[in-house]
Structure 1
């Protein structure tokens, strides 16, 4: 009987020891389950740098100079001396208007001048004789005064005849219609045999200078004001009036124009309808690639910003109120930071406030984390970070 009780006690003791061992093994496992594992995320280390401000603005090309050719005298077109669509130099003859009538008027004016000069010569000689006779009172003072007046009238008539010759000669010159500027000439609205008049509203042709060429872009008035204030405060450096470079992207092809332009001026008023300000740049156009009226995008270099950060756009998130923020790693955990965005730079945002030099920015795995979550950062270029 005693041996049976002894055996039962030993069995109970063995069960109690086994239960304690199982409890000890379960405690580390429960502790491991309570501590979540760090989530691997892709990161990049931010570095403060000096970044050039490049503002992309919509715009259109505008002819550097444009001249409408119109007749200045009446007549029949006898010749047209240019090829439509070709290049003409300033002073080239474009049209010849029948000048027979104007040559006849010039001849008549020259004859009138000769007549008036003869009258002046006669009046001069008469006055000279009377000047001698008046001293001996051989002629009356009235007769002498009439001689003086006759010479003065003859002088005026000669001057008027000279003016008529000048007018007639100008009209003869106007019968030759020349190019006022150099450039590409368009289609001719009139051909040989057409009657044209000096006061007609219809133009003969249009000449457009394409090299160089203007590009008008528009920028929000408020944005331009902020940039000017930043320049005045010294936050933006490297802005020199008349030396601001502009690059161009042609909308039709999406290709960057090979030549760089220079900003000429900005309007002094804001458009009341759109709230924008027009900026005008001039570009070289030796190949004639740019034509007036083309839609383009101008990239205007508006100085440099020191101590800024280029943050990948995919790393930036926004709240319902529009404020932007990013996730960085601090003490092995996710930390949210509000940021101030200046503008876009390609696939990056230009950030001026909210992050610091050396911050480990999370750019991959954002959908798997939240503020305060433990994470382990991996370089974004590694395959794991890309996943």
Structure 2
């Protein structure tokens, strides 16, 4: 019987590879496949470093309490100059924008018609006085004759009535003379107060006062000036109590509270003013009270209509905290800040704010010395992820306020220098 050799036998005889060589080849192929898979595997992801936020460290110190309120400047007195008689304007006797004295002549209206009216009224008075003198003479002669019966009682009564009529005519004529004198004086328009005169509303040759009042110009007294501002009724009551208890600074020799003015550009007005609480009423619709401060203005820096801020200087708080304004969130429900703990966790804290000082909020309660308060970096917060506090480098931090200083810079770990990569 013929024997057929197996496949293994044939491969053993015909293939130049031995079984040991075949095993080595398979091992190398598997290793190369595994190595290729490792090269295409994604790299291992590392955790992102905590976000850096600017903070200040809380410190307490004595801080002067201040309250700032917006207001508008108004003149101490204002006079609207108008034509009180009808006529043609002949002259303007002032320079627009200049200072005028009380009683200084500003306009001249044609006085000729009023001079004629005055002369006519004077003549009427003379006529009435002559008629009265004649009636009095008749009455003087009739009185003794009536006693003797030489003159009837009716004639005596008529003489008496003529005297009374003459007295009335003289009184009326004198009133006409006074009216004519006033109209003649009104033709010369003068300033009732001292102040700065504004621009003229009419020019020479214009007919003024014909059937209606014609405005001519305005004179405003602006030394001193008033600053009107509003405040809630509760705040006004607290201010009054502070004034009574001596917590508000008073004007020397006065019972009024001392105030300071901040100009629109942020600079402080050098002269202090005084605030009075008399004559105030509560607006029923808003609950606000309009207050008025009087401020000297010798250099005419404060002009009517100018926006300004009124700063009330109150007593000092012995353990107050100053925080940058951007660190405090103010809402109708209260004031809050973001506090960074030692482990980097951020939490919201309610605080009590009482006015400002030097452009910063004065905090009286809610924070402890040494705590870190966020000033910027709020947009970097991600849920409960920790943050890395760093000193706040804003403009306020550079000033280094006494009660809120930048946090100390954390120590940074030295990184080993890496050798430069070899060029291929």
Q: Structure 1-normalised TM-score?
A: 0.71
Structure 2 Cα separation of the partners of residues 319 and 175 of structure 1: 60
Mapped contact 1:310–1:348 kept (Cα < 8 A): no
Cα distance change on mapping 1:145 and 1:259 into 2, 3 Å: same
1:343 aligns with 2:318: no
Structure 1 spans left out of the alignment, 5+ residues: 1-40, 331-335, 370-378
The one of 238, 242, 246 equivalent to 2:259 is: 246
Give the match's secondary structure for 1:145: helix
Contact 1:364 1:386 in 2 (8 A): no
Q: Is it true that 1:54 corresponds to 2:105 in the alignment?
A: no
Which residue of 1 is the match for residue 100 of structure 2?
A: 88
Contact 1:266 1:277 in 2 (8 A): no
1:102 to 114, 126, 136: 114
The DSSP-based 3-state class of the residue aligned with 2:135 is helix
Following superposition, the deviation at residue 337 of structure 1 comes to: 8.4
Provide closer, same or farther for how the CA distance between residues 316 and 187 of structure 1 changes in structure 2, counting only shifts above 3 A.
closer
Q: Is the CA contact (8 Å cut-off) linking 1:242 and 1:262 kept in structure 2?
A: no
SS in 1 for 2:72: strand
What's 1:162 paired with? 174
Shift of 1:350: 2.7
Q: What is the aligned counterpart of 2:231 among 212, 219, 233?
A: 219
Partner of 2:209: 197
Per the alignment, residue 80 of structure 2 pairs with 68
Query: Is 1:260 equivalent to 2:272 in the alignment?
Result: yes
- 1:1-387 equivalences in 2 (<5 Å): 46-47=60-61, 49=62, 51-197=63-209, 199-228=211-240, 237-238=247-248, 242-251=255-264, 253-265=265-277, 268-271=280-283, 274-301=286-313, 303-313=314-324, 324=336, 339-346=351-358, 348-354=360-366, 359-362=369-372, 367-368=387-388, 384=409
Aligned partners of 2:242 and 2:248 also within 8 Å: no
Q: 1:319, 1:73 → 2: CA distance? A: 59
- Shift, 1:136, TM fit: 1.0
Q: Any idea what SS the aligned residue of 2:118 has?
A: helix
Cα deviation, residue 178, structure 1:
0.5
Deviation at 1:92, TM superposition (A): 0.6
Distance 1:363 1:280 in 2: 38
CA contact (8 A) 2:139 2:160 kept: yes
Q: What is the TM-score normalised by the length of structure 2?
A: 0.66
User: Could you tell which deviates more after superposition, 124-133 or 240-249?
Assistant: 240-249
- Counterpart of 2:312 in 1: which secondary structure? strand
Q: 1:71 to 1:348 in 2, by over 3 A?
A: closer
Residues 84 and 78 (structure 1 numbering): CA distance in 2 closer, same or farther, change over 3 Å?
same
Any unmatched runs of 5+ in structure 2?
A: 1-54, 343-347, 376-385, 390-403, 413-424
Assess, with a 3 A threshold, how the Cα gap between structure 1 residues 237 and 328 changes in structure 2: closer, same or farther.
Answer: farther
Tell me, what secondary structure is at the counterpart of 2:356?
strand
Q: 1:60 to 1:67 in 2, by over 3 A?
A: same
State the partner residue of 1:11.
Answer: none
Whether the 8 Å contact between 1:267 and 1:278 is mirrored in structure 2 is: no
Distance 1:364 1:177 in 2: 65
Residue pair 1:314, 1:363 contacting (<8 A) in 2 also: no
1:90–1:181 contact (8 Å) kept in structure 2: yes
The 10-residue stretch of structure 1 (159-168 or 273-282) with the greater mean CA deviation from structure 2:
273-282
Residues in 1 aligned to 2:94 and 2:373: alpha-carbon distance in whole angstroms: 64
Question: What is the CA distance between 1:281 and its match in structure 2?
Answer: 1.0
Q: Closer, same or farther in 2 for the Cα pair 1:121/1:60, shift >3 Å? A: same
1:202 & 1:274 partners in 2: Cα distance?
37
2:22 aligned residue: none
- Using the TM superposition, give the Cα deviation of residue 133 of structure 1 relative to its aligned residue in structure 2, in angstroms: 0.6
